[in-house]
């Protein structure tokens, strides 16, 4: 099969989603079910702090800078109430994922112009380009599903978020 066909049919994204257990890159300390900020910058700061709870991250300020740098290129608000802020940092020792939820929704300049409720933040080392793209593809595929988004909105415990990240 040609590479174009694989990409066109989404086979690569489906393989990534089915084979990656993303919870290994996240933990209870990187999950917040009630983000407090009402602004894009505030949300990115909260997500930076969640990411910095990981032993993979040395410096919260570098996390925020990496997320903001990427956000200045184009909004990571993918629509459907979801945003996936992401970046690369020299202060990051390994792939790290954080999850945050805003029950009220935040204007995040999403492509559909709607508020964002669900946030997955991803930080990788500078050299981890391919892994970074694979994680983005996997999460994007999972978050397109309305039932998955509903489960995330109704989650009451961090373990439910980790279960979601493991495809359960």
| Residues carrying an active site annotation | 86
What three-state secondary structure class fits 90? coil
Please give the helix or strand (H or E) that residue 82 lies within, else none: strand 82-83
Q: How far apart are CA 43 and CA 88, in angstroms?
A: 18
Query: Could you tell me the two tokens for 71?
Result: 């956000």
Give the Cα-Cα-Cα angle 150, 137, 3 (nearest 5 degrees). Answer: 140
Nearest to 68, CA basis, from 46, 89, 51, 85: 85
Q: How far apart are CA 94 and CA 128, in angstroms?
A: 9
Q: How far apart are CA 163 and CA 23, in angstroms?
A: 7
Whole-angstrom Cα Rg for the chain: 15
């Amino acid at each position: 099969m040609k590479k174009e066909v694989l990409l066109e049919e989404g086979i690569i994204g489906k393989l990534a989603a089915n084979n990656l257990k993303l919870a290994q890159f996240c933990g209870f300390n990187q999950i917040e079910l009630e983000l407090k900020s009402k602004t894009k910058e505030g949300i990115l700061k909260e997500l930076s702090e969640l990411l910095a709870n990981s032993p993979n991250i040395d410096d919260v300020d570098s996390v925020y800078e990496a997320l903001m740098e990427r956000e200045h290129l184009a909004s990571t608000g993918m629509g459907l109430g979801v945003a996936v802020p992401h970046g690369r940092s020299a202060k990051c020792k390994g792939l790290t994922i954080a999850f945050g939820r805003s029950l009220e929704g935040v204007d995040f300049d999403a492509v559909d112009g709607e508020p964002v409720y669900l946030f997955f933040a991803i930080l990788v080392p500078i050299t981890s380009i391919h892994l970074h793209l694979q994680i983005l593809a996997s999460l994007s595929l999972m978050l397109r599903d309305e039932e998955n988004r509903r489960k995330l909105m109704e989650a009451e415990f961090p373990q439910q978020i980790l279960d979601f990240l493991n495809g359960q």
